[in-house]
Amino acid sequence: MSLIGIIASQNYPRTVAFSADYLVIAGGGAGGGDRGGGGGAGGYQTSTGFTLTTGTTYTITVGAGGAGVTLAYGNKGTNSVFSSITSSGGGAGGVGATTANSNGGSGGGGFGASGAASNDGGTGISGQGFDGGDGEDGGNRRAGGGGGSSAVGSDGTEITGTGGAGTASSITGSSVTRAGGGGPGTQTGTGGNGGSGGGGNGAATGSGSAGQTNTGSGGGGAGDTGAGRIGGNGGSGVVILKYPDTRTATFSGGVTQSTSTGGGFKVTTITAAGVSDTVSWA
């Protein structure tokens, strides 16, 4: 190699491609207030063998969970992003006789009422989550459960209605279920349970429970009586990356992350919701 070639190779080191696994979960939707549907889980996407390159900067954003509102529709969750992967925030649980359903990574559950213009649950996104259940028209006026990442939310006609189930992942080395749908609120009886993986429980009296933090699970729907009647907040999302332990990740300021090492890999879990950041590897 000529002297010029040697200098060039020293100043411009060769980039290296390597494989990584990811789990990208968006923020869960809030439950509806006042017989509200359960919030839908945030979009859930995972893959192995995703190609990354040293020296390249990749964007990371962890989605926040939607906030519940008194006697009204809550808010959808916000998106989580890693590189070219975007998982969509979960739909909010329905409330109000004329309020449209709320779509998202997983759909929010429909409102429980008699003679409502629309009791339909929201629609999930294929490959990310499932639909919310439909609210009951009459009867106990039970709302629909929020959609989960691996199952639809139950319809309000199901007495033991629940949020849709979440999905298990072993990316961290142990199996953890995340992204369950929020449980439905109801007028009588008891509210429905949240879906496995962190979905908040629905209520018959008072407010719904929040989805679990950093699981992207939906919040539970509020009940028909009692003070507040606020839909439970959706759980914040998470981004988890697994890559060879020969690689070193560098994050820009603002991110909250933890890294473990074992079995020839590093696993980095990013948890700060609502913060956009970047990462690169050497």
pLDDT band at 16 (very low <50, low <70, confident <90, very high): very high
* Of the listed ranges 8-12, 104-108, 188-192, 251-255, the one predicted with least confidence: 8-12
Residue type, 66: G
Give the per-residue pLDDT at 4. 44
pLDDT per residue over 115-172, tens digit each? Answer: 655 688 999 999 999 999 999 877 778 899 999 999 999 998 877 789 999 999 999 9
Q: 193 or 116: which carries more pLDDT confidence?
A: 193
d(CA 140, CA 189): 8
How wide is the angle at C-alpha 265 spanned by C-alphas 216 and 52, nearest 5°?
75
d(CA 276, CA 61): 5
pLDDT band at 35 (very low <50, low <70, confident <90, very high): confident
Using the predicted structure, report yes or no on whether residue 95 has a pLDDT greater than 90.
no
Nearest to 168 by CA among 142, 147, 149: 149
Residue type, 258: S
Token duo for residue 202: 């629905």
Contact yes or no for 142/189 (Cβ under 8 A): yes
Residues paired with 51 in a beta bridge: 19
109 half-sphere exposure, CB direction, 13 A CA radius: 58
Nearest to 158 by CA among 190, 197, 199: 190
Using the predicted structure, report yes or no on whether residue 236 has a pLDDT greater than 90.
yes
Give the per-residue pLDDT at 12. 53
Burial 243-274 (b: 16+ CB within 10 A, else e): beeeeebebeeebebeeeeeeebbbbbbbbbe
Dihedral angle of Cα 87, 93, 96, 97, to the nearest 10 degrees: 80
- Going from the C-alpha of 194 to that of each of 74, 162, 184, 186, the distances in angstroms are 16, 6, 8, 13
Going edge to edge, which strands form the sheet with 85-87? 85-87, 80-82, 58-61, 276-281, 249-251
- Phi and psi at residue 3, in whole multiples of 5°? -60, -40
Nearest to 68 by CA among 185, 237, 164: 185
d(CA 10, CA 155): 64
Give the per-residue pLDDT at 99. 56
Contact yes or no for 95/71 (Cβ under 8 A): yes
Q: 224 or 114: which carries more pLDDT confidence?
A: 224
pLDDT per residue over 248-280, tens digit each? Answer: 999 997 779 999 999 999 999 999 888 888 999
Using the predicted structure, report yes or no on whether residue 60 has a pLDDT greater than 80.
yes
* Of the listed ranges 89-93, 188-192, 208-212, the one predicted with least confidence: 188-192
Residues paired with 262 in a beta bridge: 265
**Close Cβ partners of 7 (under 8 Å, ≥ 6 residues apart):** none
